[in-house]
Amino acid sequence: MLDFTGQVVLITGAGSPKGIGRTIAHTFGRQGAQVVLCDINQAGLDANVKEMEGLGYKAYGIAGNLCEKESVDALVAEVTAKFGRIDVLVNNAGVSQKVTVADMKLDDIKRIFNVNMFGLFLITQAVCEVMKKQGYGRIVSLSSVSGKRGGGVFGGAHYSASKAAVLGFSKNLAREVARDGITVNCVCPGLINTEIWKSMPDEQAAEVIAGIPMGRPGETQEVADAIVFLASKEASYITGEEIDINGGSHMD
């Protein structure tokens, strides 16, 4: 068991009732962290915080819009004012859209990039300043198998492009902040057992599974476990890395 006692962990996109963000939050909570959940969905945040507190975890929710700098700055200021530090940032917030390039509109591209890349940039930039003052920090961002192989199950080309951008941004940042005691890494999930997967037609689901050597979707816990390790003190010499979590559907 990894020990996060005394550490403050900020997780974006953590307001979903069954998504990866919720599992990430619970996993850090089980290991002693003060978990700060962030999402634009206030009701979802409240429900997840209440659930975590009922299990004895330390949880705190802040609603905010990652696409607006003022909102991001206020969010980070509130966390540091209340808890004094931010040890871990998990960039989990993301949106997708299944659409062909032929049918894609410029507004579609802007919407996807606003959350998946520009929002990630704003929160990371703000949190990095806190971590630099501390001389310590862990940043883990969720990219996707789609950002590596070009295309996946759910997203369009704009989604793949935004997730590829996360990889390039993170590697460059890792070089910039390495001597500040901050590591920056990514995880690249493939097909994960979420509500989107469960709603897929049987024929399409069978086709997707056929392309996964392990023959099954991944579980949100399997993604969370990799993230928690990368965020731990034990991963102190790992930075600029991307960890594939896809059951073998893509191998570098």
Residue range(s) defining the domain that contains residue 159: 8-192+220-242
Residue with token string 């929160």: 123
Which among 60, 136, 159, 237 is annotated as catalytic?
159
In a domain, 205, yes or no: no
In a domain, 211, yes or no: no
pLDDT (mean) for 109-122:
97
End-to-end CA, the chain: 29
- In the annotation, is 159 catalytic? yes
Calpha distance 48→111 (Å, rounded): 26
Indicate whether 154 belongs to any domain.
yes
pLDDT in the model for residue 155: 81
Domain assignment present for residue 251? The answer is no
Asked if the structure places residue 197 within a domain, the reply is no
- The predicted-structure confidence for 170-193, as pLDDT tens digits, reads as follows 999 999 999 999 999 999 999 898
Statement: residue 201 has pLDDT above 70: yes
CA distance linking residue 187 with residue 23, whole number of Å: 15
Instruction: Kindly tell me if the per-residue pLDDT of 153 is higher than 70.
Output: no
Mean of the pLDDT values across residues 227-231?
A: 98
Q: Is residue 201 part of a domain?
A: no
b/e sequence 211-237, b meaning 16+ C-beta within 10 Å: ebeeeebbebebbbbbbbbbbbeebee
- Note whether 29 and 57 are within 8 A (CB): yes
Domain presence at residue 204: no
Considering only residues 200 and 168, tell me which one the structure prediction assigns the higher pLDDT.
168
| Number of helices and strands in the chain (H, E) | 10, 7
Domain count, the chain: 1
Question: b or e along 119-158 (b: 16 or more beta carbons within 10 Å of the residue's beta carbon)?
Answer: bbbbbbebbbebbeeeebbbbbbbbbbbbbbeebbbbbbb
Residue at 215 is within a domain: no
State the Cα–Cα distance between residues 58 and 49, nearest whole angstrom. 9
What is the per-residue pLDDT across 36-92, written as a single tens digit (0 to 9) for each?
999 999 999 999 999 999 999 999 999 999 999 999 999 999 999 999 999 999 999
The predicted model scores a pTM of: 0.96
Q: What is the mean pLDDT of the chain?
A: 94
Q: What is the CATH number of the domain that holds 118?
A: 3.40.50.720
Distance CA 198, CA 112 (A): 23
